[in-house]
């Protein structure tokens, strides 16, 4: 039984939505954010990356940064750039990229569902990244970026959403990256109740993206509970901002790997070792090699692409993590041959989201004659959910979701 709750969103004035809405804070550096926002006083980066409005010598985690974020958020509200709805609503948020749409319901989910594992995770979080967002949420007194959740497709929920999308759209704009963003407001109490009741029949929600934002929102909620020992459970700090998509809508794209060197091996020695666990074939195509099924990989080495296919019997585990392509590559090539023992901490490996194209892999290898890159077949939603259901954690950089949800379209105040 998953809890979904309507809320009074703070959201942009209709004519400013495209100027306010921005990519999530964690997909860009401070320098990139400053450049993106320099000619846009409405940009939500002034809230999510408030260091861009301070002296560059101020530490990213200084309290001044979070206080500036709160100041900028309140200024946007005071200047009617952002306006709070007068009643509790749900919202529909549709993103369209390359002709494919994904349609989610925006509302608030429960910190208790997170704590009780009804909202399931598949990644570890880092305490320093958690603390950053804890400070941001607590000092701004708001969830400023939504958590990207998914659930197993439900016909009845889908039918309600499709009917409501025939009504007037409140935001409809295409961002600079070509992604179209559309929003509808569900303001009918009967419809809201029906949707929330249908989610009570959903066994689990799964975090697709936003593990640090989710963990931080929950910890702020726990902190507020300690500060308010007589809390009823109905207060806003018991819930956090989420967008819930049916799993059938979502698209995971490849998350590729680049290793700086061959770990002291010659090309011939390296290929010989790889051939013990993988069938290796030179790829004669003109384009970069993109794997077409599970268990296959592209490898860019010495100015040419190779096709790799894992040999039968290389792995026999029933563990859903061990069966992932990223795990097979890590356990049978990256660790034993290239010496990448811990991809989370080893500085010889880097990860490149497939949205940047396979040409980026070639470029990075050419910058270092001894480098090697691997193009991956994308992890599936089913694999992600199986691992989360088993209470396990995926290897780092296993999934890359596109398109990215925009921050600034919905803000949830904690009181």
The helix/strand count (H/E) of the chain reads as 13, 21
Continuous segment of H or E residues that includes residue 150: strand 147-151
> In which band, very low, low, confident or very high, does the pLDDT at 314 lie, cut at 50, 70 and 90?
confident
* Helix ranges, 233-322 (H): 267-274
Residue with tokens 């700086």: 260
Which of the residue ranges 14-18, 270-274, 398-402 would you say has the lowest mean pLDDT? 398-402
Give me the pLDDT at residue 44, please: 98
Kindly list the distances between the CA atom of residue 152 and the CA atoms of 112, 273, 363, 392, 403, in Å, as whole numbers in the listed order: 20, 42, 39, 19, 19
Give me the pLDDT at residue 318, please: 87
Whether the pLDDT of residue 369 is over 80: the answer is no
Give me the pLDDT at residue 233, please: 97
Query: Taking the CB of residue 321, how many other CB atoms lie within 10 A of it?
Result: 18
Give me the pLDDT at residue 358, please: 95
CA triple 283-402-132, angle to 5 deg: 120
Give me the pLDDT at residue 1, please: 86
State the average pLDDT over residues 43-65.
96
Give me the pLDDT at residue 368, please: 76
Which of the residue ranges 15-19, 360-364, 365-369, 404-408 would you say has the lowest mean pLDDT? 365-369
Each residue's pLDDT tens digit, 86-95 = 999 999 999 9
Residue with tokens 């909620």: 221
Residue pair 93/241 in contact (Cβ under 8 Å)? The answer is no
Residue 182 and residue 173: Cα distance in Å, rounded? Answer: 7
Give me the pLDDT at residue 47, please: 98
Q: What percent of the chain has pLDDT over 90?
A: 93
Each residue's pLDDT tens digit, 241-263 = 999 999 999 989 999 999 999 99
Residue with tokens 């995926």: 394
Q: What percent of the chain has pLDDT over 70?
A: 100
Which residues have CB under 8 Å from 317's CB, separation 6+? 323
Whether the pLDDT of residue 370 is over 80: the answer is no
Residue 300 and residue 350: Cα distance in Å, rounded? Answer: 14
* Helix ranges, 231-275 (H): 267-274
> In which band, very low, low, confident or very high, does the pLDDT at 396 lie, cut at 50, 70 and 90?
confident
Phi then psi dihedrals of residue 155, to 5 deg? -55, -45
Residue pair 12/20 in contact (Cβ under 8 Å)? The answer is yes
For residue 397, give the DSSP letter.
T
Give me the pLDDT at residue 316, please: 79
Q: Which of 171, 158, 164, 120 is nearest to 245 (CA)?
A: 158
Residue pair 95/174 in contact (Cβ under 8 Å)? The answer is no
> Which pair of structure tokens corresponds to residue 251?
């698209």
* Helix ranges, 79-229 (H): 111-115, 127-140, 155-164, 189-199, 211-227
Give me the pLDDT at residue 160, please: 98
Kindly list the distances between the CA atom of residue 321 and the CA atoms of 40, 203, 397, in Å, as whole numbers in the listed order: 44, 22, 13
State the average pLDDT over residues 66-75.
98
Residue pair 207/394 in contact (Cβ under 8 Å)? The answer is no
> Which pair of structure tokens corresponds to residue 86?
């007068």
> In which band, very low, low, confident or very high, does the pLDDT at 344 lie, cut at 50, 70 and 90?
confident
Which residues have CB under 8 Å from 40's CB, separation 6+? 19
State the average pLDDT over residues 158-184.
97
> In which band, very low, low, confident or very high, does the pLDDT at 4 lie, cut at 50, 70 and 90?
very high
For residue 249, give the DSSP letter.
G
Q: How confident is the prediction for the chain on average, in pLDDT?
A: 96
State the average pLDDT over residues 277-289.
96
Whether the pLDDT of residue 236 is over 90: the answer is yes
Residue pair 127/133 in contact (Cβ under 8 Å)? The answer is no
Residue 304 and residue 323: Cα distance in Å, rounded? Answer: 28
């Amino acid at each position: 039984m998953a809890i979904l709750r309507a809320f009074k969103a703070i959201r942009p004035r209709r004519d400013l939505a495209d100027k306010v809405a921005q990519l999530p804070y964690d997909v860009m550096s401070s320098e990139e954010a400053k450049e993106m926002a320099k000619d846009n006083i409405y940009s939500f980066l002034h809230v999510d990356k408030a260091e861009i409005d301070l002296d560059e010598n101020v530490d990213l985690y200084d309290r001044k940064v979070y206080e500036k974020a709160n100041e900028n958020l309140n200024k946007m509200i005071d200047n009617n750039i952002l306006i709070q709805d007068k009643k509790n609503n749900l919202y529909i948020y549709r993103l369209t990229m390359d002709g494919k749409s994904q349609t989610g319901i925006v509302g608030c989910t429960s910190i208790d569902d997170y704590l009780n594992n009804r909202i399931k995770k598949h990644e570890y979080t880092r305490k320093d990244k958690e603390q950053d967002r804890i400070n941001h949420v607590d000092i701004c007194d708001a969830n400023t970026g939504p958590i990207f959740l998914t659930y197993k497709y439900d016909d009845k929920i889908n039918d309600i959403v499709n009917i409501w999308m025939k009504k007037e759209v409140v935001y409809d704009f295409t961002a600079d990256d070509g992604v179209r963003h559309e929003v509808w407001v569900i303001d009918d109490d009967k419809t809201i109740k029906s949707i929330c009741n249908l989610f009570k029949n959903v066994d689990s929600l799964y975090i697709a993206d936003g593990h640090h934002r989710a963990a931080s929102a929950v910890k702020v909620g726990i902190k507020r509970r300690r500060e308010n020992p007589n809390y009823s459970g109905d207060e806003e700090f018991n819930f956090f901002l989420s967008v819930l998509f049916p799993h059938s809508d979502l698209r995971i794209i490849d998350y590729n790997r680049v290793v700086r060197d061959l770990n002291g091996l010659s090309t011939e020695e390296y290929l010989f070792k790889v051939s013990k666990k993988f069938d290796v074939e030179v790829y004669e195509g003109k384009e970069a090699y993109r794997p077409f099924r599970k268990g296959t990989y592209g490898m860019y080495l010495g100015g040419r692409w190779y096709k790799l296919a894992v040999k039968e019997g290389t792995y026999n585990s029933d563990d859903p993590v061990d069966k992932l392509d990223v795990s097979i590559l890590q356990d049978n090539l990256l660790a034993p041959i290239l010496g990448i023992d811990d991809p989370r901490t080893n500085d010889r490996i880097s990860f490149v989201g497939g949205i940047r194209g396979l040409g980026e892999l070639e470029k990075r290898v050419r910058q270092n004659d001894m480098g090697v890159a691997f193009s991956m077949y994308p992890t599936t939603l089913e694999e992600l959910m199986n691992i989360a259901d088993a209470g396990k954690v995926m290897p780092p950089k296993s999934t890359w979701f596109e398109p990215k949800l925009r921050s600034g379209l919905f803000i949830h105040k904690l009181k």
